[in-house]
């Protein structure tokens, strides 16, 4: 729907130190996005808090901050590597067969997988907030922990619902570089 989408009105400033009630719509910017089959330029609504000067963007659920590829491509990458136990090259070959416009390299794929592994402790905390009884085995190696975490994420109604839950609790993406989580 582009700019005609009924974007929500922010009730409060998202800055945890501000939280004022006066947030204004602040235009749009164009963002590149790919679902692996085609490339799109989509409008992203921006908001501005005049009190603290924070500008925030309203991303659609299929997007992650700083990622041009959609959430489904990224999730399939994690599944292929950690649930199907494919090598990096096999994972990349399988993704490129399914997503013809995918232009990842092995090093880029490795970077995404490494970010996911680095964020496993935070992901486990978010999952425990939903189900305090879940056993996520801190003593397991990271690959086994990743498999358990992915099994639980797949249990969500959609990957977008998990991604939003993580973003709401941690104020970043579950694939964010670890230095941005501090």
Residues found in the chain: 182
Residues 126 and 155 in one domain: yes
pLDDT in tens, 160-179: 999 989 988 888 888 888 76
Residues 132 and 174 in one domain: yes
Q: 64 lies in a domain? A: no
The enclosing H or E element of 160 equals helix 159-170
Q: How many alpha carbons lie under 13 Å from residue 145 in its C-beta half-sphere?
A: 18
Residues 82 and 155 in one domain: yes
Residue 114's CB: how many other CB atoms inside 10 A? 14
Residues 87 and 51 in one domain: no
pLDDT in tens, 29-64: 999 888 889 898 988 889 999 999 888 888 887 888
Q: Count up the domains in the chain and report the number.
A: 2
Place of tokens 């964020």: 119
List the 55-58 sheet strands across, edge first: 24-34, 39-48, 55-58
The verdict on pTM exceeding 0.85 is: no
Domain that holds residue 162: 71-181
Residues 27 and 114 in one domain: no
Euclidean distance between CA atoms 61 and 155, whole angstroms = 18
Q: 66 lies in a domain? A: no
Q: 167 lies in a domain? A: yes
């Amino acid at each position: 729907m582009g700019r005609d989408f009924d974007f929500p009105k922010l009730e409060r400033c998202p800055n945890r130190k501000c939280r004022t009630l006066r947030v204004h719509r602040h235009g749009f910017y164009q963002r590149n996005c790919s679902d692996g089959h085609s490339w799109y330029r989509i409008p992203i609504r921006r908001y501005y808090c005049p009190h603290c000067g924070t500008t925030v963007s309203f991303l659609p659920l299929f997007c992650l901050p700083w990622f041009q590829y959609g959430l489904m491509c990224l999730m399939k990458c994690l599944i292929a590597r950690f649930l199907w136990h494919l090598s990096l090259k096999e994972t990349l070959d399988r993704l490129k067969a399914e997503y013809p416009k995918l232009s990842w390299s092995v090093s880029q794929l490795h970077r995404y997988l490494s970010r996911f592994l680095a964020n496993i402790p935070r992901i486990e905390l978010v999952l425990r907030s939903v189900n305090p009884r879940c056993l996520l085995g801190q003593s397991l190696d990271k690959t086994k922990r990743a498999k358990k975490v992915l099994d639980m994420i797949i249990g969500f109604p959609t990957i977008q619902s998990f991604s939003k839950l993580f973003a709401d609790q941690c104020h970043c993406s579950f694939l964010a570089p670890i230095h941005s989580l501090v």
